[in-house]
Structure 1
Amino acid sequence: MRLTLFLSAEFCDESESHITLQPEMNQLEVTRERLADYLESEIADQGVTGGVIRVWVEEDRGGLAVTYTVPEETSEELVEDIKEFTLAQFEDGAGEGGFEIEFAGQQILVTADLDTIVQYELLDDRKKVRRPSRIAIAAREGELATLSELLKSGADEINSLHQGFSALHLAIIYGQFEAISLLISYGADLSQTDIDDTPPPGVVRVIKWIR
């Protein structure tokens, strides 16, 4: 399923004057960042990914559209949680201060209007949502019994990423030392990088400590 949130926005040039919106601006991606990388775990653990931010233009109106991939059984409560998270990011996060884009040789600042009602569209795009790594979630939470069972069964890939991090990354970040030891004993990749191409933080120091 695809969830798209639509927000109104202001489009200003370098002199802070409002510009005339052009149809060609529609679907223009404003940043390479994906808001799903910053999701609270309660939302991300349900399989929400994406968070691509684009411009939408309809006649003389325009704004920002944020598209997420969500599970088929997405509830109204989850939609509201994603709305709240998105607005918080635009106010004090990835979208704070707006987005600078270039169009037709002109620098444009796009700033979301956080006081307007957020509209949304939920469409079945027939894309299967990849289940979040249960191993990564159990490692992050320090749920050793669940983690051990999952590792024994081989039901999940031990090095799968969840929100850009492997189970070993998350266990180290959240200080779950017993989970770290368990993951290493089952062959977790000590050199695997996260979404930013960074290896597990302090992995050598942590390994020495648990041994």
Structure 2
Amino acid sequence: MKKLFYILLLAPALLMAQEIAVLKYSGGGDWYGNPTSLPNLAKFCNQNINTKINSAIATVEAGSPDLFSYPFVHMTGHGNVVFSDNDVVNLRNYLNSGGFLHIDDNYGMDKYIRKEIQKLFPDNQLVLVPADHEIFKGPYVFSKGLPKIHEHDNKTPQAWGIFVEGRLVLLYTLESDLGDGWEDEEVHNDPKEVREKALKMGANIVNYAFTN
């Protein structure tokens, strides 16, 4: 009954599927980084994959009941992350009832976020999302999996995930920095083809969140 309650709570957002949000968290990390990323991703999705996402991107706190208003929530930063007990319960209920969280390491988040993900799902291991997963198949095809956008430590880009009953509910992208690729061109001066690659992968993530 409890799971059904949360599914019903999230249902209106899933039916409209036009609102996305940035996750605000505690710990001192810059949750507000990459301010132009989601507006640009929303614009790209609206123009290319037939979404109608509100360009006025919301901010939602990890422990807020408002979290259930958004079928797709994006989280980024460079530093420390701390989820309170209330945050953990709220985020877990959100994800178990149909929500989707994309965590994008903006460089420096990895050593902090992994322990918080473990708090969210102590019985579910982070696993590498294979290149043949549907999130890489459409609307745009990424046959080799997650694309490389920024160098960071010059390592292979990695897509880590938490699966619940076969559904990917949390995607953690590392050594890629999709969010930087979504930013206004003058922020990082990335070549057009790099930004386009980042936006296409972002569109795949949004599409998956809205349709699964």
Normalised to the residue count of structure 1, the TM-score between the two structures is 0.27
Query: Could you say which structure has the larger radius of gyration?
Result: 1
Normalised to the residue count of structure 2, the TM-score between the two structures is 0.27
Q: Which has the higher strand share?
A: 1
